[in-house]
Amino acid sequence: MEQHAQRLIGGVWQSRLPDWRDVAAIILVVAALLLVGTAGRQMVAPWIASEQAPISLAPAALPGYALRTTMRMLVALAASLVFTFTYATLAAKSRRAETVLIPLLDVLQSVPILGYLSFTVVFFVSLFPHSTLGPEGAAIFAIFTSQAWNMAFSFYQGLRTIPRDLDEASRAFRFSAWQRFWRLEVPFAMPGLIWNMMMSMSGGWFFVVASEAISVGKVQYTLPGIGSYVARAIADRDLGAIGWAILAMTVAIVLYDQLLFRPLVAWADKFRVEQTAAQVVPSSRVLNLFRQAPLFQPIGRSIGTVLQSVARARLALPVQTKRLHSWAPPRRLVDVLWYGLVLSAIAYSIATIVRIVGAELSWHDLAFAASNGVLTLLRVFVLIGLATLVWVPIGVAVGLRPRLSEKVQPVAQFLAAFPANLLFPVAVFLILHFHSAPRIWLSPLMILGTQWYILFNVIAGASAFPSELREAAASFRISGWRWWQKVILPGIFPYYVTGAITASGGAWNASIVSEAVSWGDTKLSADGLGAYIAQMTEAGDLPRIALGIAVMSVLVIATNRLLWRPLYALAERRTRLD
Amino acid sequence: MSAGICNPVLDLRNVSMAFDKPSGAALSVFSNVSLALRDGEILGLLGRSGSGKSTLLRIAGGLIKPTGGQVWYRGQLLDGPSEGIAVVFQTFALFPWLTVLENVAVGLDALGIDRAEAYRRSHTAIDLIGLDGFQSAYPRELSGGMRQRVGFARAIVTDPTVLLMDEPFSALDVLTSETLRTDFLDLWAGRQLTTKSALLVTHNIDEAVLMCDRILVLASNPGRIAAEIQVTLARPHDRLDSGFQGIVDEIYSTLTSRSLESIVAHRQPHGGAPQPLPRVSVNQISGFIEKFIAPPYLGRAELATLADALALQVDDLFPTAEALHILEFAELIGKSLKLTAAGRVFAQDDTEGRKRLFREHLLRFVPLATHIHRILDEREDHKAPRSRFEMELEDHLSHQEAEQTLRTVTGWGRYAELFGYDDKSRRFTFHATAP
């Protein structure tokens, strides 16, 4: 081993002088510890609805708010990881659990997060009645729900697609279940998991901002954070404060990316299964800093050793006694019991819904919600169409120029991560200023934050387009519309579909905050399902919120099944050569 | 040496493997195969793809449970992977996220050995296998040959009694695999390994004769041991030894007669099981015929010679030879292959002539092609879904075989312009130009 060699050369342990990298690394670590500590203490402070600390609009308060917002993101991320490792593992290992858990996950993915925020706030506040943990919990839960589902999905997919040879090798070497999990399953699923974590994180900023200041009925919940700062600025009609908030958010996102995700992505590169060396190896300055700092090397090494021992530990149950003679219930019987249980749970849920909702709602409500739903559906389609027309040509143009796409790609990813709801007030101010029609001009807000997914996926597709195919097209002098139609559009199609799915999913979620907006006392509404849910939330009308969420979920699931999945399958089939 | 005196280390008794088909009936891959791995020998399992040789190895390693029969390891019934049996994989199966050293140490994880000891033993194995200096490299930084060395080091670090090797050299280029083979044989001959016996699965006849003390030739449909061949050469086995070539020839004859048997068995018109077609394209057929008619073969040669000269493995050579035999462009006789009159005409003809001839032979000698053609002819819209033929074939063949047979017949039919196939609708279509 290299480390051994190094020590043996000198023969004795050499003490090394600390250098600047140590200082920087220490500062980072201490600051992180301090921040986590203080923010954590504030989170469990007693909560009195009437005595909330007022949100200050002073720019000096913003770093503190940004920190609180970021902390929520971190906690939610940790929770999502725990959820992913348990839920997805259970689904992948147990046939019976799988039949329930995976469809459930599929639906959960399609439920608009902001829609059920009002439920979760009430729930968490009742859970921790006299502590800030209630609303904090609700906000964290909102971020959690924006991340956990697709992380769990990707982990589940990873577990199901473990290459046969690696599976056989770990069985041949008789790994225990614990060793198998940490040695094979987690590493194999890691790249997909981290990619999904990043994707969810972009969504997460949106939801954390939206969930910090929320009012259900008469009660207003405000958590110190950038979202509440913006809410206060809107109420005060303070455009300057909104500018400061945008700046603070930008800094927070860039720092988060540089300090957390870049190092993660660079580190996770070794988990790629492809055996060829990548052309572009992700790198991170921060990770290199820690790896190269002399003082941190032994620390990193001991952490590595501990982690390795944990992964190597067998933790197997004591040698299983042969079960030859012990009685095991017949499979059929267990199946019947299990599915019986599932069915009764479903029946009970239906009964509950009918009991609570049926008493309050009429067919008229359903028709009203549905017609609003169609209006929003129309908006989503038109906007995705417009975004496609704008961003596909630009994405292709950028993607085919490697140098340009190197510069544009991080910007597009940043824009996708930036919570567009911070920009809404600016748009609303402009609409009011020019007296434009809200039904039309509020619509683009839905896609303000999510159109970037189309852009950066198209850029990724165009950069991955085989240069030989481009050269072939050029040598046969295929150009103009035929070039688009025959060469590049089919080439980027799978990437485009991926981007469009994400964009449309995000647009649905965004509709809840973008179809009904306010500036000071002025309220603008564009109608549509999002506005419906937002208004019902404000009114505290739980049955109608539930109705709105249900209608939206059905619409989202329907478009996924009827449009996006077939398109995705087509894209996958068309681009395969074998 | 009889098995009665010297107990086999690993003993597979009457093992069978069958898969369930959608129709409910079981499809047998092989049944009642018995083989014993004796102390001190390298046993070769030679066969074409689909003969179940890799499945047999996995059964021997406890990775797959046979549907029938038992596996005994050192006098005990084998129930899952066991200490003392190590596997070397065709695709190396290295963990990409672990360094060479860690990958080797993985072999010891299950034994609960402490870290320092595990690393010490791994270093020894790495030294032995010639990987010194690569300890901290990740697999992706290594060439194929080096990767397989890690695979070997990982297997021997556990000091196994039995080493199971699943085509360990087939993913490597010719030179690299030769070096690795020689290195392994040196270790084996030098008794530097604690391993008592080894099982080598391969489709390379030359490799089997070079490495093994005993070779079992597997036949497919249904899978069984077709022949047992003792390699009675002095170690190290020398390719220039006259006995070496004799054994190679013997294996070729065995494989040829198995091929013929299977073709004849499926020739019974109607009522008999449909003939599985080898995965051979028209390009391969015409390319082969063109080489074959040119000097020095002039349309007649021994298979062993062809394999060497055309650098074809058993897995490529026999399917092509079988396809030629089925289409009656050539004939398999004993251990050699001879072009028929039609084959000679095909070789000389122009593109159109070749197509015509191929179409004629396809209709006359491949009942499946005739069948598809007739159905399309009878149907009003001249279209028929692929699934229909798939189901018919799967009554007699495994899903994989049925799929491969359909692929082959689609390719042949398209070339002959006998029928077309539309992948979008997954339907066969009638080709108007067909007779």
Look at residue A280 in the predicted model and tell me its pLDDT.
54
- CATH: 3.40.50.720, 3.40.50.300, 3.40.50.11900, 3.30.70.980. Which one for B10-254? 3.40.50.300
Residue A51 has pLDDT above 70, yes or no: no
Alpha helices for B395-431 (secondary structure H): 399-415
- In the three-class reduction of DSSP (H, G, I as helix; E, B as strand; rest coil), residue A517 is classed as strand
Fold adopted by A18-48+60-314: MetI-like fold (1.10.3720)
Give residue limits of the domains in chain B: 10-254, 255-348, 364-430
Summarize the confidence of residues B267-274 as an average pLDDT.
59
pLDDT for res B431 = 67
Segment B2-34, tens digit of pLDDT: 444 467 899 999 999 887 765 666 777 888 899
Spell out the domain ranges in chain A: 18-48+60-314, 360-578
Overall average pLDDT of the B389-393 stretch: 87
Closest CA to B120 of A4, A179, A7: A4
Would you state the pLDDT for residue A10? 30
Each residue of B83-111: pLDDT tens digit? 899 999 998 888 888 899 989 988 887 78
Identify the helix (H) or strand (E) that includes residue A191: helix A186-212
Inter-chain touch B63–A171, beta carbons under 8 Å = yes
Where is pLDDT greater, at B48 or A187?
Answer: A187
Show the 3-state SS of chain B.
Answer: CCCCCCCCCEEEEEEEEEEECCCCCEEEEEEEEEEEECCCCEEEEECCCCCCHHHHHHHHCCCCCCCEEEEEECCEECCCCCCCEEEECCCCCCCCCCCHHHHHHHHHHCCCCCHHHHHHHHHHHHHHHCCCCCCCCCHHHCCHHHHHHHHHHHHHCCCCCEEEEECCCCCCCHHHHHHHHHHHHHHHHCCCCCCCEEEEEECCHHHHHHHCCEEEEEECCCEEEEEEEECCCCCCCCCCCHHHHHHHHHHHHHHHHHHHHHHHHHHCCCCCCCCCCCCCCHHHHHHHHHHHHCCCCCCEEEHHHHHHHCCCCHHHHHHHHHHHHHCCCEEEECCEEEECHHHHHHHHCCHHHHHHHHHHHHHHHCHHHHHHHHHHHHCCCCEEEHHHHHHHHHCCCCHHHHHHHHHHHHHHHHHCCCEEEECCCCEEEECCCCC
Instruction: Give the rounded percent of residues in chain A with a pLDDT score beyond 70.
Output: 82
Q: How many inter-chain contacts (A to B, CB under 8 Å) are there? A: 83
Considering only CB atoms, B106 lies closest to which of A173, A176, A277, namely: A173
pLDDT over 80 (residue A59): yes
Report ipTM for this prediction.
0.76
Q: How does the average pLDDT of chain A come out, rounded?
A: 79
Enter the pTM of the model.
Answer: 0.77
Phi, psi of B224 (to 5 degrees): -160, 170
B362 HSE (CA, 13 A, CB side):
29
Distance CA B112, CA B83 (A): 12
CATH class assigned to A360-578: mainly alpha
A275 touches chain B (CB under 8 A): yes
Q: Which of A4, A167, A168, A308 to mutate to test the interface with B (most CBs of B within 10 A)?
A: A168
pLDDT tens digits for A344-362?
Answer: 877 777 777 777 667 777 8
Q: Which residues of A touch B85 (CB under 8 A)?
A: 172
Instruction: Give the model's confidence band at A2: pLDDT under 50 very low, under 70 low, under 90 confident, else very high.
Output: very low
Mean pLDDT of B118-124: 92
Contact B47, B217 (CB under 8 A): yes
A166 part of contact set with chain B, CB < 8 Å: yes
Q: What's the pLDDT at B87? A: 92
Is B168 part of the contact surface with chain A (CB cutoff 8 Å)?
Answer: no
pLDDT at B312 over 80: no
**CA distance, residue B55 to nearest chain A CA (Å):** 12
Q: What is the rounded distance in angstroms from the CA atom of residue A346 to the CA atom of residue B380?
A: 49
**pLDDT score, position A1:** 26
| Residue B110 to residue A187, Cβ atoms within 8 A | no
Percent of chain B with pLDDT over 70: 94
B395-426 per-position pLDDT tens digit:
777 778 888 899 999 999 999 988 989 888 88
pLDDT tens digit string along B58-89? 999 999 889 889 999 988 898 888 889 999 99
On chain B, the residues whose CB falls within 8 A of the CB of A174 are: 80-83, 110
Q: Which amino acid belongs to residue B126? A: I
Q: Phi and psi at residue B300, in whole multiples of 5°?
A: -150, 130
pLDDT over 70 at B279, yes or no:
yes
pLDDT at A321: 42
Task: Judge whether residue B38 has pLDDT over 90.
Answer: yes
Closest Cβ–Cβ partner in A168, A270, A273 for B89: A168
Instruction: Select the more confidently predicted residue: B280 or A195.
Output: B280
* Cα angle for residues A181, A187, A191 (degrees, 5° grid): 140
**Cβ atoms within 10 Å, residue A442:** 27
Q: What is the pLDDT of residue A4?
A: 28
Nearest CB partner across the interface for A165, out of B61, B86, B91? B91
DSSP states of B26-64 as a string?
EEEEEEEEEEEE-TT-EEEEE--TTSSHHHHHHHHTTSS
Q: What is the mean pLDDT of chain B?
A: 86
Chain B residue with minimum CA distance to A174: B110
Across A184-213, average pLDDT: 83
- Is residue B322 a contact partner of residue B263, using CB atoms and an 8 Å limit? yes
Asked if B164 and B61 touch (Cβ cutoff 8 Å), the reply is yes
The number of helix segments (H) and strand segments (E) in chain A equals 28, 4
Q: Which fold has domain B255-348?
A: Arc Repressor Mutant, subunit A (1.10.10)
